[in-house]
């Protein structure tokens, strides 16, 4: 570099530094400025021989990060100094001890946290984002400012990624979308989150990004005209109320337009809410809420509101501190448009995050605002109940979870949580509809009950008086409402079966010369290792306890070992905890994955799960599946390092399970045979016939029958009974 070039660069550095002080969101004291100055000097010296890939002096990067921290996030001098120094320990001769000696413990601790995170990023042979993330969270125990500065660092790196090799761009961009954007969202840094997402898309899907960007530019003029039309209508009324306000269009980010295009499977032109109207008004803090509703009232006087889309985040702000009143109205040209009503203060909080609060606090608790926010953040982020993986997932869920809107065939509009299925919708319409759902059509096409709905779907539910919930339905729904209705219906059915079972039991015992009295019931409950009499009746009713088992009981009762099992009658340790009116679950079967498969497994020695525990499966290299408790001390480490080897697992009561079985029946074609077969099936309690198909050929016939049964015993009984029918030659299960 020539001397002139170096001088020019130094001038530029000095200019950037001055601007850093000028744009700081907080008022800096003389002492603050001294701290920042010396951090700047050390950073300049430390990075003096370093250049970025783009060729510019390295120091521009820490200054830029400090500017984001100071101006966009509004953090304190300690954070600004730490931002200036954030790469010093990692990249230069200076050590942490030097930093602590010169800047004190707080700055040193933050720089240390940031250094540790970078070390993780570059040590990425193991590109395990979740694990990086977890470690990052652990550093939070020290100071949440570490994370905030890290986000600023990431933002500047994303802004200046042009000269990096492409594969690195993609890696950094995906990590940003996966971790940093949701994190910025959680912290309430709306503007930064949006920018991170857009930049993330720019590098992961450049074509898509550029395409949407150019379309947004094209439609800009039309948008401006629309906002103008909108403003014109309400301006007079707002002015008459002597309100001071500003009406702006707020375009949706490229990333969120993209997300909408994918989730609703629509083109750019079909995304209807590409921008929102934002009304920002001046107000003192006492009248803020009142004025918001006044503006709401004026807007809805002129434009018809969609009552489903009213969101009052003034009365109950979001956890990020976000406050505003949102309403979607039918705007000019009959288009739905979202109107966001916010005071200037609310607007600043929305854009900068909760840190902006401090500005509005009184002098005495000036620092309280920021500290409160930092403390609250730390609490949210530290929640030790959830693993790192869940945490990331939960982020994404919260971030993207929104309601969906579903139309009935008549055009009625219903809102459901995202992820809701056809069956959820059915229960949402009416409990009776839900309980008798037979099938569903989405946009005219027949779909499974578990079909996940999309906003805008038109859903028609097909009902039948004979349809009723089965235990499998619980796997098809996500809403609490549907779940509880299904559960109570299943309970009703169990009670029904139990009451039938009681009658059957009395009859069967009578033939064994035993009377069904309380003593016998207690003996039976003990013999079959059950908990309540209802359990017993249910199992008899469902055919799980059959004749042979009752004979075994009678034999045991009569022989001299009777006294033995009498003593073994299991008295629950806390009898009051068992509801006599409840069919208790036995948790005798462990199943894996969404399909609830039965697989071989071993219990992990580290936590020794027992039936009923919350567990997960871990696929080991040599020993098959090992089952750990969710709260096993090793769980976090396994889930974050080897997420791909984790299998969902849960305990079920095998007596509540249902199986589909296919039977092939062959025989001689005799009169009324088909009728007899179906009669046997339908007479048999608790067998659900799914399909029947008979073929005859020169006096012989073949039948295919699909049934749903609760257990093998019931199926075996059925097969025996069908075999007894005259003309049947063979019954086999396929
Ligand atoms: Mn950096």
Range 511-528 average pLDDT:
87
- 354 — pLDDT class (breaks 50, 70, 90): low
**% pLDDT > 90, the chain:** 27
Range 332-361 average pLDDT:
78
Phi, psi of 656 (to 5 degrees): -95, -5
Q: Residue 550 C-alpha to ligand 1 middle, in angstroms?
A: 75
Length of the chain equals 734
Phi, psi of 252 (to 5 degrees): -65, 150
The predicted structure's pLDDT at residue 196: 95
Question: What mean pLDDT value characterizes the chain?
Answer: 81
- pLDDT tens figures, 631-650: 787 877 777 677 778 888 88
Q: Residue 74 C-alpha to ligand 1 middle, in angstroms?
A: 19
Residue 617 pairs in a beta bridge with 627, 647
Picking from 393, 460, 377, the residue whose alpha carbon sits closest to that of residue 422 is 460
Q: Residue 64 C-alpha to ligand 1 middle, in angstroms?
A: 10
What domains are defined for the chain? 3-213 (1.10.3210.10), 214-360 (3.30.460.10), 487-566 (no CATH), 580-652 (no CATH), 659-733 (3.30.70.260)
Instruction: Work out the angle at residue 401's Cα, subtended by the Cα atoms of residues 398 and 407, and round it to the nearest 5 degrees.
Output: 165
Q: Residue 29 C-alpha to ligand 1 middle, in angstroms?
A: 26
The predicted structure's pLDDT at residue 251: 83
Q: Residue 151 C-alpha to ligand 1 middle, in angstroms?
A: 10
Q: Residue 24 C-alpha to ligand 1 middle, in angstroms?
A: 20
Residues with CB under 5 A from ligand 1 (ion): 87, 153
Q: Residue 178 C-alpha to ligand 1 middle, in angstroms?
A: 19
Q: Is the pLDDT of residue 628 over 60?
A: yes
HEC profile of 453-487:
CCCCCEEEEEECCCCCCCHHHHHCCCCHHHHHHHH
For residue 412, indicate whether it is catalytic: no
CB 617 within 8 A of CB 642: no
The predicted structure's pLDDT at residue 128: 46
CB 290 within 8 A of CB 237: no
The predicted structure's pLDDT at residue 239: 93
Report how far residue 295's alpha carbon sits from residue 733's, in angstroms, rounded to the nearest whole number. 70
The catalytic residue among 9, 16, 19, 90 is 90
The predicted structure's pLDDT at residue 189: 84
| DSSP annotation of 57 | B
Q: Is the pLDDT of residue 43 over 90?
A: yes
Q: Residue 320 C-alpha to ligand 1 middle, in angstroms?
A: 26
**% pLDDT > 70, the chain:** 84
- pLDDT tens figures, 537-564: 988 888 888 888 898 888 888 775 555 5
| More confidently predicted of 346 and 656 | 346
Q: Residue 170 C-alpha to ligand 1 middle, in angstroms?
A: 18
The catalytic residue among 9, 91, 653, 688 is 91
- 149 — pLDDT class (breaks 50, 70, 90): very high
For residue 91, indicate whether it is catalytic: yes
Q: Is the pTM of this model over 0.95?
A: no
Q: Residue 226 C-alpha to ligand 1 middle, in angstroms?
A: 42
């Amino acid at each position: 570099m020539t001397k002139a070039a170096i001088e020019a660069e130094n001038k530029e550095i000095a200019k950037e530094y001055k601007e850093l002080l000028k744009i700081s969101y907080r008022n800096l004291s003389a002492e603050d400025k001294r701290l920042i100055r010396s951090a700047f000097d050390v950073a300049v010296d430390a990075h003096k021989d370093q250049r970025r890939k783009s060729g510019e002096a390295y120091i521009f990067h820490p200054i830029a990060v400090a500017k984001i921290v100071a101006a966009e996030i509004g953090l304190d001098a300690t954070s600004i100094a730490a931002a200036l120094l954030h790469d010093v320990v990692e990249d230069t001769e200076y050590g942490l001890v030097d930093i602590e000696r010169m800047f004190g413990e707080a700055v040193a601790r933050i720089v240390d946290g940031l250094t540790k995170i970078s070390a993780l990023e570059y040590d990425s042979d193991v590109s395990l984002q979740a694990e990086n993330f977890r470690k990052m969270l652990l550093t939070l125990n020290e100071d949440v400012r570490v994370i905030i500065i890290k986000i600023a660092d990431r933002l500047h790196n994303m802004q200046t990624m042009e000269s990096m090799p492409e594969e690195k761009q993609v890696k950094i961009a995906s990590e940003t979308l996966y971790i940093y954007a949701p994190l910025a969202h959680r912290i309430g840094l709306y503007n930064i989150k949006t920018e991170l997402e857009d930049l993330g898309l720019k590098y992961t899907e450049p074509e898509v990004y550029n395409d949407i960007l150019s379309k947004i530019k094209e439609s800009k003029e039309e948008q401006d005209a629309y906002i103008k039309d909108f403003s014109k209508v309400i301006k007079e009324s707002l002015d008459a109320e002597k309100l001071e306000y500003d009406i702006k269009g707020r375009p949706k980010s490229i990333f969120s337009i993209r997300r909408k295009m994918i989730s609703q499977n629509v083109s750019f032109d079909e995304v209807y809410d590409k921008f929102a109207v934002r009304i920002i008004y001046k107000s003192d803090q006492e009248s803020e809420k009142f004025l918001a509703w006044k503006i709401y009232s004026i807007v809805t006087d002129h434009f018809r509101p969609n009552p489903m889309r009213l969101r009052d985040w003034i009365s109950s702000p979001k956890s990020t501190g976000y406050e505003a009143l949102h309403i979607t109205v039918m705007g000019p040209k009959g288009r739905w448009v979202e109107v966001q009503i916010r005071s200037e203060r609310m607007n600043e909080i929305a854009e900068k995050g909760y840190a902006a609060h401090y500005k509005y606090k009184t002098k005495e608790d000036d620092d309280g605002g920021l500290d409160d926010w930092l403390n609250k953040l730390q609490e949210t982020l530290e929640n030790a109940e959830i693993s790192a993986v869940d945490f990331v997932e939960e982020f994404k869920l919260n971030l993207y979870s929104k309601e969906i809107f579903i139309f009935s065939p008549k055009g009625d509009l219903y809102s459901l949580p995202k992820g809701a299925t056809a069956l959820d919708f059915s229960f949402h319409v009416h409990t009776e509809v839900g309980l008798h759902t037979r099938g569903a059509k989405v946009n005219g096409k027949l779909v499974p009950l578990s079909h996940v709905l999309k906003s805008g779907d038109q859903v028609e539910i097909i009902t039948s008086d004979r349809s009723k919930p089965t235990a499998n339905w619980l796997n098809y729904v996500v809403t609490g409402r549907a779940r509880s209705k299904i559960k109570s219906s299943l309970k009703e059915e169990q009670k029904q079966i139990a009451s039938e079972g009681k009658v059957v039991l009395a009859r069967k015992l009578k033939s064994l010369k035993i009377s069904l009295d309380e003593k016998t019931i207690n003996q039976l409950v003990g013999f079959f290792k059950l908990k309540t009499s209802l359990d017993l009746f249910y199992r008899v009713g469902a055919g799980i306890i059959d004749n042979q088992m009752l004979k075994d009981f009678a034999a045991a009762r009569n022989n001299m070992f009777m006294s033995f099992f009498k003593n073994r009658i299991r008295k629950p340790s806390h009898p009051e905890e068992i509801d006599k009116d409840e069919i208790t679950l036995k948790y005798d079967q462990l199943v894996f994955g969404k399909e609830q498969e039965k697989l071989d497994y071993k219990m992990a020695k580290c936590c020794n799960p027992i039936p009923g525990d919350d567990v997960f499966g871990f696929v080991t290299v040599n020993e098959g599946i090992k089952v750990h408790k969710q709260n096993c001390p090793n769980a976090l480490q396994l889930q974050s390092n080897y997420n791909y080897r984790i299998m969902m697992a849960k305990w079920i009561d095998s007596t509540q399970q249902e199986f589909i079985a296919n039977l092939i029946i062959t025989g001689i074609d005799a009169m009324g045979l088909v009728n007899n077969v179906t009669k046997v099936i339908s007479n048999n309690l608790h067998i659900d016939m799914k399909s029947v198909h008979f073929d005859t050929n020169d006096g012989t016939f073949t039948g295919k029958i699909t049934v749903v049964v609760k257990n093998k015993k019931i199926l075996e009984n059925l097969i025996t009974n069908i075999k007894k029918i005259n003309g049947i030659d063979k019954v086999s299960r396929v």
